[in-house]
């Protein structure tokens, strides 16, 4: 029982962490290869929109390097003041 409570706590924490609003600054969590090119790890960008499809959370991000890409939640991370420096 305790393990399931801990698991639910982690799931809720991840959901809260990924509850980003449009306009939030973020960066790529890893190098992303897509048909239009390559986005390097830690490339900064701005969240444009967020949607759910087939149980997956998808984010449209407008990167500062000029690409606008739809990504999964594990491919981006929010930028905080500590990460921006």
- Structural domains in the chain, CATH included, are 21-84 (2.30.30.140)
Which region holds residue 77: left if phi is over 0, alpha if psi is between -120 and 50, else beta? Answer: beta
- The mean pLDDT values, 10 residues at a time, for the chain of 85 residues are 43 52 95 96 97 94 96 94 57
| Cβ atoms of residues 60 and 49 within 8 Å | yes
The pLDDT value recorded for residue 81 is 67
The pLDDT value recorded for residue 84 is 52
């Amino acid at each position: 029982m305790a393990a399931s409570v801990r698991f639910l706590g982690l799931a809720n924490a991840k959901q809260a962490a990924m509850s980003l609003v449009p306009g939030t600054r973020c960066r790529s969590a890893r190098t992303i290869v897509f048909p239009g090119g390559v986005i390097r790890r830690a490339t900064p960008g701005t969240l444009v929109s967020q949607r759910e499809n087939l149980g997956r959370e998808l984010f449209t991000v407008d990167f500062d390097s000029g690409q606008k890409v739809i990504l999964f939640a594990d491919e981006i991370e929010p930028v905080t003041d500590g990460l921006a420096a």
